Amino acid sequence: MKREVHEEHVSQEKLIMTLRNLPRRVPPAGLTTSLRVIASRERQRLVESSSPVQILGSWFHRTRFMLQDILRPLMLPATGGVFSAVVLFSMWVVPTYPLRAKMAVDIPTQLTIGVQVQRSVTAALSDSVLVDVDVDDQGHLLGYQIVSGAEVVADPLMRRRMETALWFTTFSPATAFGMPMAGKTRVLLLPGPDIYYVKG
């Protein structure tokens, strides 16, 4: 019995000596900092989960920071893309936008066609008169403005002849994308059988 105890004591002493002879383990340089960070995060988590209001607030802050981290790199490309799209769309839509038919001189295109004279009536004026006429979307005369030749129609007889010729003249309305619309055109009344000359 004593021998067994002695042998066990000797083996323990050998084990102790062997352990003492082992090289000392040195902890990593950042271990203390890492442990402090972990402890701080754990403490923050416990504080945030102590009440529903703090839970909601912490969730809101985390979500906001996450969205900022996600969206911040995308803001500049997105802004540039939107600006480029607006500029390119403006460059495309301005030349192709249908011109208003109520212009003094309409420029016919494939998208817009100005007012045209289909059939005219002789006015038998003493001199030429230049008139701007307003036409509705059915081709009916709405009104007129004398551009030049006012001295000719100062005579009531000449004015009645001019107005009669205008009222009995057939117009084709202006169109935009094939749809009729009101418009304006400039007409020259000449003192002869060929009294109408569409200026634009």
**Mean pLDDT, all residues of the chain:** 76
pLDDT single digits (tens) 40-64:
888 877 776 767 777 777 777 778 8
State mean pLDDT over 168-175.
84
> Could you give the CA distance from residue 96 to residue 84 in angstroms, rounded to a whole number?
19
Compute the average pLDDT of residues 180-189.
Answer: 85
The whole-angstrom separation of Cα 194 and Cα 126 is 14
- Give me the numbers of helices (H) and strands (E) for the chain, helices first please: 4, 9
How much is the pTM? 0.40
How confident is the model over 11-16, as a mean pLDDT?
Answer: 81
